[in-house]
């Protein structure tokens, strides 16, 4: 086992992942948090939180998230902004794959939240994997020299559109709202092969074996159509983010990760916390509490303890 082997890799930097990181780092476990984006999780979208215990005044979700992150990093957790696109979990060493690197650890906590999208556009589910994608970083290379669009108006949608401009010939950023949720001088918006269309929703995705076109509708109900090879959907929704797991842990019929009350998944050494699990209540306080349990369970697993240890003060 090498120096680059972590005690625990935590996938996801929301309240569940960062609360877990705070506990594992404080327990002197070598901790890595891999987070797709600090602005992509549910808390990052919450405009104001006033029901998290201990808050003296309501805080915007991103501000509360910053506090979580600083606290975890302050205890020694390493935070890397990278999207995990695959995992290998069956061996003693658990692996998490990103586009840049493979990371290894003795244990792993999955805390990727529930911001995956339920298919709502006509043709979206039908063409998934045949031109429809939810992951630009995973699939951009398949669209070299082609025409693609990103559906969405968030910072993440803009960022992913920017990435696609390096591969596709033309990238349309199609926003349902009149204004994108980024500053007008965001450098991505001036990339030459990016065309921004606002105030338009995708009515349907059509094609034969593969996607061939999208039908758009504007606020007045006027329809238009664009020839298209790929459609990257970055609209908000609520579906546990489990695509990168490729069925490697037990998933319920509702597509959430099955855990016991100590956050253990079907694979020894792999734990899960927060909205990605089959939790009935999706709230910050619950995600943070589950992150704590996952951390204690990972610590017990890595150090072969008979019981969980609760305090490392001093």
Ligand X SMILES: Cc1cc2nc3c(=O)[nH]c(=O)nc-3n(C[C@H](O)[C@H](O)[C@H](O)COP(=O)(O)OP(=O)(O)OC[C@H]3O[C@@H](n4cnc5c(N)ncnc54)[C@H](O)[C@@H]3O)c2cc1C
97 binds ligand X (CB under 6 A): no
Determine the 3-state secondary structure of 30 from DSSP: coil
Please give the size of the binding site for ligand X, defined by CB under 6 A. Answer: 36
Is residue 88 close enough to count as binding ligand X by CB under 6 A? no
How far apart are CB 195 and ligand X at their closest, in Å? 27
Binder of ligand X out of 25, 27, 29, 40 (CB under 6 A): 40
Q: Which residues pair with 202 in a beta bridge?
A: 216
Q: How far is the CB of 54 from ligand X (least distance, A)?
A: 12
Q: Residues 205, 214, 284, 294: which binds ligand X (CB under 6 A)?
A: 284
Residue 283 contacts ligand X per CB under 6 A: yes
User: How does 123-148 read in b/e, with b if 16+ C-beta sit within 10 Å?
Assistant: bbebbeeebbbbbbbebbeebeebbb
Contact 229, 263 (CB under 8 A): no
Distance (Å, whole) CA 111 – CA 240: 10
297 forms part of the interface with ligand X (CB under 6 A): no
CB of 149 to ligand X, least distance (A): 22
CA distance 185 to 193: 16
In whole angstroms, the minimum distance from the beta carbon of 98 to ligand X comes to: 8
**Phi, psi (degrees; rounded to nearest 5) at 198:** -105, 165
Backbone angle region of 255, left / alpha / beta, with phi > 0 → left and psi within -120 to 50 → alpha: left
Return the exposure string of 233-260: e unless at least 16 CB atoms fall within 10 Å of the residue's CB, then b: bbbeeebbbbbbbeebbebeeebbbebe
Exactly one of 241, 257, 293, 298 binds ligand X (CB under 6 A); which one?
241
Question: In this chain, which of 131, 152, 269, 274 binds ligand X, going by CB under 6 A?
Answer: 274
Which listed residue (7, 23, 26, 35) binds ligand X by CB under 6 A? 35
Binding site for ligand X (CB under 6 A): 11-17, 34-37, 40-43, 45-46, 49, 51-52, 83-84, 111-113, 115, 241, 244, 274-276, 282-285, 287
């Amino acid at each position: 086992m090498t120096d680059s082997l972590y005690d625990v890799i935590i996938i996801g930097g929301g309240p569940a992942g960062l609360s877990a990181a705070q506990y594992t780092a404080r327990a002197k476990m070598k901790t890595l948090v891999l987070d797709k984006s600090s602005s992509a999780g549910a808390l990052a979208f919450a405009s104001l939180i006033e029901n998290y215990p201990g808050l003296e005044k309501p805080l915007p979700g991103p501000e509360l998230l910053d506090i979580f992150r600083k606290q975890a990093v302050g205890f020694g957790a390493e935070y890397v902004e990278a999207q995990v696109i695959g995992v290998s979990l069956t061996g003693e060493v658990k692996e998490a794959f990103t586009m840049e690197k493979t990371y290894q650890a003795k244990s792993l906590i999955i805390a990727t939240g529930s911001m995956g999208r339920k298919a709502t556009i006509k043709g979206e589910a039908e063409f998934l994997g045949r031109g429809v994608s939810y992951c630009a970083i995973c699939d951009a290379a398949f669209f070299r020299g082609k025409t693609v669009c990103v559906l969405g108006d968030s910072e993440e949608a803009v960022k992913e559109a920017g990435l696609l401009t390096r591969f596709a010939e033309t990238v349309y950023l199609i926003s349902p709202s009149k204004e994108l949720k980024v500053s007008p001088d965001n450098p991505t918006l001036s990339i030459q092969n990016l065309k921004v269309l606002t105030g338009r929703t995708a009515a349907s995705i059509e094609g034969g074996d593969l996607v061939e076109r999208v039908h758009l509708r504007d606020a007045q109900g006027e329809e238009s159509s664009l020839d298209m090879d790929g459609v990257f959907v970055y609209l908000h929704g609520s579906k546990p983010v489990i695509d990168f797991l490729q069925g490697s842990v037990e998933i319920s019929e509702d597509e959430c990760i099955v855990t016991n009350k100590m956050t253990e998944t079907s694979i020894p050494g792999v734990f899960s916390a927060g909205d990605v699990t089959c939790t009935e209540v999706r709230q910050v306080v619950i995600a943070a509490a589950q992150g704590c349990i996952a951390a204690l369970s990972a610590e017990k697993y890595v150090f072969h303890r008979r019981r969980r240890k609760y305090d490392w003060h001093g």
